[in-house]
Amino acid sequence: MTSTDSGKYLNLAVIVGSVRQGRFGPVVARWFAGQAERYGRFTVDVIDLADVPLPPVLPPVPPAFTPDLPRPAELAGLTRRLTAADAYVVVTPDYNRSFPASLKAAVDWYYAEWQGKAVGFVGYSGASGGLLAIEQLKQVFGELNAHTVRDSVSFPRYFELFDADGQLLEPERAEGDAKQLLDQLEWWGSVLREARLARPLPATR
């Protein structure tokens, strides 16, 4: 990609939300990252929260009210990558009808990084395909002044859908769902990036 072309691309961060031992999230994230790269309108950065040493204790004042508060040094890489993103896709399972605690911790360490950006979701679980987690995450990101797009990709009974090499056995439906999600992320991500450049978001009180 040349510097001339770089403005045409959106920076898309694909976040692997589960850190549980034996998790399936990286398989799903790799598949979706491949779909996004083939789409041709994104530069893709896969952020695996298992590689991030998230501090177990949050600061006493929420980041929404202290946007300039320095974060722990171990979060420097995550901060840089989230800041650079124009849009996000969160890859999440359902854990006890909700989303992983690791994902909530990562979300809660930040505020300004999410504001005015588009967020999409790819879910997987045994029964709901991650939809229970996704519905709750839409409320969380709405509180952070992000825009969650309507459609998502869902893999119920994911363990029956992928082969041993992480490839979908019947990819057509999921690829169609991924394109629909990427269409929405590309539109909203582009519009919101232009808006952020033209007019800063109002400060939060």
Residue 110 and residue 103: Cα distance in Å, rounded? 12
- pLDDT recorded at residue 168: 98
Structure tokens given for 108: 């809660």
- pLDDT recorded at residue 7: 63
Residue 121 and residue 116: Cα distance in Å, rounded? 17
- pLDDT recorded at residue 60: 85
- pLDDT recorded at residue 68: 73
Structure tokens given for 103: 């994902």
Question: pLDDT of the chain along its 205 residues, tens only?
Answer: 333 344 689 999 999 999 999 999 999 999 999 999 999 999 999 999 999 999 988 888 888 777 677 789 999 999 999 999 999 999 999 999 999 999 999 999 999 999 999 999 999 999 999 999 999 999 999 999 999 999 999 999 999 999 999 999 999 999 999 999 999 999 999 999 999 999 988 766 5
- pLDDT recorded at residue 201: 83
Residue 114 and residue 137: Cα distance in Å, rounded? 13
The CATH T-level fold of domain 10-61+77-198 is Rossmann fold (3.40.50)
- Predicted TM-score (pTM) of the model is 0.93
- pLDDT recorded at residue 64: 75
